[in-house]
Amino acid sequence: MSEHIGTTCVQGGYRPGNGEPRQVPIYQSTTWKYDTSEHMGKLFDLEESGYFYTRLQNPTNDYVAAKIAEMEGGTAAMLTSSGQAANFFAVFNIVGCGEHVVASSAIYGGTYNLFAHTMAHMGIEFTFVGPNCSDEELEAAFRPNTRAVFGETIANPALDVLDIERFAKAAHDHGVPLIVDNTFPTPVNCRPFEWGANIVTHSTTKYMDGHGTAVGGAIVDAGRFDWMAHSDKYPGLTTPDESYHGVTYAERFGKEGAFITKATAQLMRDFGCIQSPQNAFYLNNGLESLHVRMPQHCKNGQAAAEFLSQHPKVRFVRYPNLPGDANYELAQKYLPNGGCGVVSFGFEGGRAAAETFMKNLKLAQIATHVADARTCVLHPANATHRQMNDEELKAAGIEPDMVRLSCGIEDTEDLLADLAQALDAC
Ligand SMILES: *Cc1c(COP(=O)(O)O)cnc(C)c1O
C-alpha cells in the first residue's frame, strides 16, 4: 500500500498488533533482562537484533525513528538528543581527522560553529560555498580528501533554498554523499531524497515536535550510497571495526543499513547523545499532526511576507515562496506547496527599529526558538548568531537589522494585526 505522507505522520512507525496499546509505549527502562549470557553476547555482536541498553537502542525511539524514515522515504533512521548531535553524527560518521567537507555557508548558526570551530579542532576542514555559487566555484571547493557535501533545504535564518539536485550531482561526481538538514520544510513540504540527497538530518525540536516541548534530532539514510564502491574513502564503513568485534558495516548491513548501524553501534555508544524515550513520545505526538500544522504555518508565513513586503517601514523581506524573492524559482521547484512559516525581514529604521518592533509585539513572543505552534520572533545578530563577526554574518546571509519571524498556527488576521500595530510604533 502506498501511503500519503499524512497517513504516515499519523500511523507510521508503530503498528500495534492485536490487543496491544494504540499509543506508542514509553519504554522507560535503561536495560533489558535475558535468560542466558550467550543470548546477550549475540546482541553485543550484532548477530541478533534486540535491546539491551538504552544508550544504544530503545524501542520507543526506534518506533519514532522508523516513522521519520518512512516520512522521508529512507531505509533507516535514528533519533539523537538534539539537532546539533544529529548533524555532528551525520558528518563524523564518515569524515575524520585530515578529511574535508564542502558545506553551504547558508546554514544554522549552531551548525556553522560546530563545523567551523569545534570540528575544525578535531582536524576536519570545511570549505563554505554560497548556496547560489557558480558551478565553477562549487567545483573548485572539492579536494581529493573531500568526504561529504552539506547544506540546508531552507537555511535558518537566511531562508536561502538549497538547489538539492545541483549539490547532489556535484557530490556524486566526486564520489561523496550529500547530507541535507531538512528541519525547516520537513518531509511534508520537501523530501530531499527525491532530489538525490543521501542523508537527511533534522532538529526535531522545531516543526516535528511543533509545540516547543522537547529538544531532539534525527538522522535518516536514503540507503542508496554505495560505500563499497568508494571503499578507499570510507574505511570506517568498509573495513572491520575493531572496536565492534570486527564487523564491516557496509558488508553486514548493506547500503540500506550500514550508515545508521555504524552511527548507533559506534558513535552513540561512545558519545551517548540519546533522545530520552519520554521525549521521543512527545515527538511522536507532534508528528501525528505535522501534515495538518505545516499548511497553516505556510499560510501565515505567506500572508505575513506579503503584508510586510508592502509596508513602508520594511526595508526587505525574505520568504522563498514570495514572488520576486531571490529564491522564488528554487522554491517553486523544491517547495511547490509552501516551505515553512519563517519570514526574515529588515527595517528602514535599521537595528534600532528592529528592537522597537520586537518590544511592541503582543501576540508574537520573543524566544530563542523557531518553528512551533506559537508565533515567535528573534533578532539573530543579537542572539543565535551573536558569535559571528560582520563578515561571517554576511556570508550566512544575515543583516544586522534582520528579524526572524516564525509564524505559528494562530489565526492569520490576529497575526497580521499584531505585526501592523508593532510596526506603527517603529
Ligand atoms: C535548530 C536547528 C538545529 C539545531 O537543532 P537543536 O535541536 O537546537 O540542537 C540544526 N539545524 C537547523 C536548521 C535548526 O533550525
Please report, as a single letter, which amino acid is at residue 420: A
Ligand 1 centroid–CA 108 distance in Å is: 7
Q: Which of 383, 301, 400, 402 is nearest to 109 (CA)?
A: 383
Please name the residue that has the C-alpha cell 540507503. Answer: 223
**pLDDT at position 158, please?**
87
Report the side by side order of strands in the sheet with 314-318: 314-318, 342-347, 403-406, 376-378, 365-366
Tens digit of pLDDT at every position of the chain (426 positions)? 468 999 999 999 999 999 999 999 999 999 999 999 999 888 887 788 889 999 999 999 999 999 999 999 999 999 999 999 999 999 999 999 999 999 999 999 899 999 999 999 999 999 999 999 999 999 999 999 999 999 999 999 889 999 999 999 999 999 999 999 999 999 999 999 999 999 999 999 999 999 999 999 999 999 999 999 999 999 999 999 998 889 999 999 999 999 999 999 999 999 999 999 999 999 999 999 999 999 999 999 999 999 999 999 999 999 999 999 999 999 999 999 999 999 999 999 998 999 999 999 999 999 888 999 999 999 888 887 777 777 887 777 778 899 999 999 999 999 999 999 999 999
Please name the residue that has the C-alpha cell 551517548. Answer: 272
Residue 215 in contact with ligand 1 by CB distance below 6 A: yes
Whole-number Å distance between alpha carbons of 54 and 275 = 9
Condensed to tens digits (0 to 9), the pLDDT of residues 143-180 reads: 999 999 999 999 998 899 999 999 999 999 999 999 99
First to last CA, the chain: 55
Grid coordinates belonging to 86: 544529529
- Of all protein residues, the one whose alpha carbon is nearest to atom 1 of ligand 1 is 203
Ligand 1 centroid–CA 80 distance in Å is: 12
Residue 202 in contact with ligand 1 by CB distance below 6 A: no
Ligand 1 centroid–CA 113 distance in Å is: 12
Whole-number Å distance between alpha carbons of 20 and 2 = 24
**pLDDT at position 2, please?**
62
CB 209 within 8 A of CB 216: yes
Q: Which of 58, 2, 74, 71 is nearest to 288 (CA)?
A: 71
**pLDDT at position 364, please?**
95
Whole-number Å distance between alpha carbons of 395 and 24 = 43
Among 79, 88, 156, residue to substitute to test ligand 1 (most atoms within 8 Å of Cβ): 156
Residue 279 in contact with ligand 1 by CB distance below 6 A: no
Dihedral sign for Cα 330, 334, 336, 342, please: negative
Condensed to tens digits (0 to 9), the pLDDT of residues 312-354 reads: 999 999 999 999 999 999 999 999 999 999 999 999 999 899 9
Q: Alpha carbon 196 to chain centroid distance?
A: 16
**pLDDT at position 47, please?**
83
Residue 83 in contact with ligand 1 by CB distance below 6 A: yes
- Of all protein residues, the one whose alpha carbon is nearest to atom 5 of ligand 1 is 83
Q: Going along 208-278, which residue ranges are E strands?
A: 217-221
CB 396 within 8 A of CB 380: no
Whole-number Å distance between alpha carbons of 207 and 283 = 10
Q: Is the peptide bond before 157 cis (omega within 30 degrees of 0)?
A: yes
**pLDDT at position 44, please?**
81
- Of all protein residues, the one whose alpha carbon is nearest to atom 7 of ligand 1 is 83
